[in-house]
Each structure stands twice: as structure tokens, then as C-alpha cells.
Amino acid sequence: MWWRNASATPMAHDLMRGMRAWSQSVTSSLEDGKQKKTIYALDGVRALACLGVVSFHLNLWAYIGHVWSPFLDDFGAMVSSLALIGETGVLLFFILSGFLLFLPYAKAMLFDGAWPSLRRFYIRRIFRILPGYYVALFLMLLYLNPDYLRAANWDKLLLFLTFRMDFPVTYQQLNAPFWTLAIEFQFYLLLPLAAWLMGRIVRGGSLRLRLFKMSLCLTLLLAWGFLTRYWGFKLADTYQLDAIVPHSFAQLLRPYIFGTVGKFFESFAIGMFVCMLYVYLNNIPHSATRKRHLERSSPVLLLLGLVLLFGVNIWHYYVIYMIHRAFHFLDPYQDFMESYRDIVMQDGFSIAYGMILFAILHGSRRLQRPFEWTPLRWIGLVSFSLYMWHDPFVIYFLSGLLPRFQALGWSGTAQYASYVLWVGVTTIPLAFTLYRWVELPGMRLGEKLCKLIDRTPRELVAIPEPVPARELPMALSSSSSSTKN
């Protein structure tokens, strides 16, 4: 247009180039430097899982502290339930772990790829988790609860040090999100053994037979998770199984088999199911037509997953927070929902997230692109520290700062806005700092150790590069994603 400055367009282009260069430099500084192909969309999914958990704790504590009051009528409660749906982000983390860590094992079993190195697996997991976790643990011990450092509490401290803080005596103590790290770490310890046992069964025979046998093994893993959850919530405190297992012995095993709320093998198994299908569909010959069908059907599957997620969340919201005050149409099913909420509900959430993850992985570039947005990927990369540190800052605001704002007569909206702003400007920069100077050096040290113990490392497993399905006839490349784990 004639009224525009002629230099505006070149200036805008220069600005955009500068922004892209800055964005790429930030991304490079956050990546661990390994030669790999990343499923970029999964970084965005991980970010949404973490932000969901953060929003849940924000809104739950705001609800408890009377900063935020949800609508309680049926329709209003459906909307309000979305403010607390982020609690399920921990299940999405478990599903992502099952998917990503099972990738090389699934390729090895289905397509006779090289079996992953046990030493590499454990070294990478240890140096991915321990530096950030131990720094967080000791800082929180020093500043939040130094009583754990007294000799009388060393038995509890040992549980934190050995990733057993999902035991009843330490469950949600010191820092609420820590218990999920115990679940994750225990899964890391068991996965190579479980995969080895599966490999003994799955390997051999035609591809379809291997797919069937792997599906059967994963179904058994899912069933084990469901049955142990049922036992933990329904039978562990009774004497109904004394004829099979003495009650005293069962109680001794309970922390290791069930913990406090279960070990979530169902969620990990669903992630492994999605992984199995991903590896199979991206490596079978003559699959271009099938991939096009998957691209077209992925939006429908994504929508169905979201509908299921919302439906199960209404059940969760009704039973836990708003019973007898909202969703009156569910009253006839109240006894069933209360009785089986802890047993069935997690499976419903996990299935919904499995559908959503499958749809994203096999969707078109248009569907994947929002999850690959660069700032969202940054949050995904630093999500581990953000996940660990947000809750103490939330609690500090509500106990230390909120009363001052209330004394000044601030409105509820202003209080909530300052609350969200506080968490954003404190925890996100802290997460970036800890990731850059604690987590990332730990990961790089782990890679150096891997190279030291194996001077000529084998390529573990060829997994398709996450590009549109139509561009992936049979091209295999190493694919992984930097994880919260």
C-alpha cells in the first residue's frame, strides 16, 4: 500500500530472520547434542502434560484457598471440570515413557533389529533423572523440611533417596509430584527385564505372528496392572485371599506390588501398545495406502479420544469434588462410581490419551504442527524441573503472599491473575536454569560414559523419522525424543 514505508517489508524480513536464528540458538542450547532424529510433536505433548499438572495444582489450591470457586450447576460444572483435568497429565507422562522407552525393543522383536544395550539404557536413565532429582530433593530438604535430615527420619529419607517415595509413609510428602518419579524409576528398572522376557516369546515366526504374540504380552501386562490395582484397593486390607497368600506376607509385599495408588502398569502398557503399532505401521512394506488412511482417520480418532477424556473427567470431577452438588444425572450410578473410581477411572484416562497419542503420531503435518510449536517444545524440554518445582512455589504464594493481597482488598480476579503470574515468572525461569546447568550436563556426562564403555557403539534400533507418512515408505532412521524421564 502507498501509505506504508517501503522499508517495512525488508525490516520485517530481517526481524523474522533474527527471531528464527534466536529461536534455533535457544533450541540448540536446550538439546543434549546427541545425533538423533526427534519426534518433535512429542516434546509438545510432554509440555502439555506438564502444563496440565501445573494448572491442576494451581486451580486445586486456588479452590481450597477460596481464590477460585467453580460453577456447580450441571453445565457449569462440565466447564469447571476442565480446570482440574490437568491432574491426568501424570498418566500422559507414563504413556509417553512406555512409548519412547519401548521403541528399540519393539523394533528388535518385530523386525530382528539389534537388541538395545542394557548398560546404555541404565546409564542414560540414571544420568537423565538423578542429577535434577537429587538437586531438587536436597534443596527442598534444606529449605522446606529439614526435619527429614534428623536421625529419627533417616528411614523415610532413604525411601526418597532410593525412589520408593510412593510408599504410604512418604506418599505426597515433602513435594507432592515426587511420588510419580518413584513410579517412573521403578518402571525403568523393570522394563529391560520385561522386554527380555517378551523377546523370548515374541521373536520367531512370521511378522503377523510376532505382532499377535507381542499384543498378547502387552495385554498380560495391562491385566497385571488392573488386577494389582483391584487387589490394592479392594482386597489388600481384607483376609479374603488368605488361602492363597498369608495376609502378613501380602502386606509385606504391598508397597512393592501396589504402593499407595498402584504402579500404573496399565498406562505404561498402553504407551507400549501405541509404540508397537507405530513401529509396525512405519516399517511394513507397501504401506503408503494404509498411511494415507491413517492420516485421514487421525482427526476422528483424536476427537474420540478427547470426548472420552472429557467424559471420564466428568466422572472424576463428580465423585471427588462436586458429589451431590453437580451432575445430578449421574446420581443413580453414584455407588458404582465411588466404588470403582480408583480402579477403572485411570484406565479410561489412559485409553483416551493412547488414542490421542496414536492420532498425533500418524496424523498429517497440519495436525502435528501445533504440537511442534517451538516455545511449546522448550517447555517440553525443561518439563522435568518445571514438574518438580512448581508446587512449592504455588504453596508459598498461597501461604505467604496471598494474605497480603487480600488485606489490600484485591478482587478475586486480581488475586488469581497475580497468582498465575507469580508461578509463571518464578518456576519457568528456574526450570530453564536447572535444566541448562544441572540436567543437561548430567545427560552429556551419561553419553560420555556410554562412549567410554563402548568405543564402537552399535546403532541400537532403526525407527522411522517422524515426517509425514507419505514420505516414509521404508526409510528407517534412529528416532527418539528427549523426555521428562
How many CA atoms lie less than 13 Å away from 12 in the CB half-sphere?
Answer: 6
From residue 165, give the alpha-carbon distance in Å to each of 56, 97, 124, 413.
21, 19, 22, 37
pLDDT confidence of residue 402: 84
Residue pair 282/326 in contact (Cβ under 8 Å)? The answer is no
Retrieve residue 247's grid coordinates. Answer: 495376609
- String of DSSP letters for 374-392: HHHHHHHHTHHHHHHHHHH
pLDDT confidence of residue 209: 95
- For residue 338, being part of any structural domain is answered with no
Distance CA 397, CA 285 (A): 57
User: Which residue in the block uniquely carries the three cell numbers 517489508?
Assistant: 9
pLDDT confidence of residue 460: 42
Query: Which amino acid is residue 336, in one-letter code?
Result: F
- For residue 309, being part of any structural domain is answered with no
- For residue 194, being part of any structural domain is answered with yes
According to DSSP, the β-strands at 37-38 and 479-480 are parallel
- State the pTM of this model: 0.87
Distance CA 304, CA 218 (A): 23
- For residue 27, being part of any structural domain is answered with no
CA 193-33-116 angle, to 5 degrees, is 20
Retrieve residue 91's grid coordinates. Answer: 498418566
**Which residues have a Cβ under 8 Å from the Cβ of 446 and sit 6 or more positions away?**
123, 124, 126, 127, 128
pLDDT confidence of residue 1: 44
Residue pair 188/101 in contact (Cβ under 8 Å)? The answer is yes
Residue pair 93/484 in contact (Cβ under 8 Å)? The answer is yes
Residue pair 227/190 in contact (Cβ under 8 Å)? The answer is no
- For residue 332, being part of any structural domain is answered with no
- For residue 29, being part of any structural domain is answered with no
Residue pair 478/462 in contact (Cβ under 8 Å)? The answer is yes
| CA-based nearest residue to 480, from 64, 241, 125 | 125
Pure H helices in 31-88: 40-64, 74-81
CA-based Rg of the chain, rounded to a whole angstrom? 24
pLDDT confidence of residue 80: 81
What tens-digit pLDDT sequence spans the chain (485 residues)? 444 454 457 766 656 666 666 566 556 656 665 555 678 999 999 999 999 999 999 998 888 888 887 777 777 777 888 888 999 999 999 999 999 999 999 999 999 989 999 999 999 999 999 999 999 999 999 988 899 999 989 999 999 999 999 999 899 999 999 999 999 999 999 999 999 999 999 998 999 999 999 999 999 999 999 999 999 888 888 888 877 888 888 888 889 999 999 999 999 999 999 999 999 998 887 667 778 888 889 999 999 999 999 989 988 887 776 655 667 777 776 777 677 778 888 999 999 999 999 999 999 999 999 999 999 999 999 999 999 999 999 999 888 888 888 788 888 788 888 888 999 999 999 999 999 999 999 999 999 998 888 765 444 444 444 433 333 333 333 333 444 44
Residue pair 116/108 in contact (Cβ under 8 Å)? The answer is yes
User: Which residue in the block uniquely carries the three cell numbers 533474527?
Assistant: 18
Distance CA 14, CA 270 (A): 46
Domains in the chain, number = 1
Distance CA 319, CA 224 (A): 26
Distance CA 8, CA 12 (A): 6
Retrieve residue 445's grid coordinates. Answer: 556426562
Residue pair 43/482 in contact (Cβ under 8 Å)? The answer is yes
Helix then strand then coil, in percent of the chain rounded to 5, is 75, 0, 25
Collapsed DSSP state (helix, strand, coil) of residue 443? helix
Owning domain of residue 256: 34-303+349-480
- String of DSSP letters for 299-356: HHHHHHHHHHHHHHHHHHHHHHT-TTTS-GGGGGGHHHHHHHHHHHHHHHHHHHHHHH
- For residue 19, being part of any structural domain is answered with no
Retrieve residue 341's grid coordinates. Answer: 473410581
Q: What is the 8-class DSSP label of residue 459?
A: P
The H or E element containing residue 485 is none
- String of DSSP letters for 187-246: HHHHHHHHHHHHHHHHSSS-HHHHHHHHHHHHHHHHHHHHHHHHIIIIITTSSTTTTTS-
pLDDT confidence of residue 113: 87
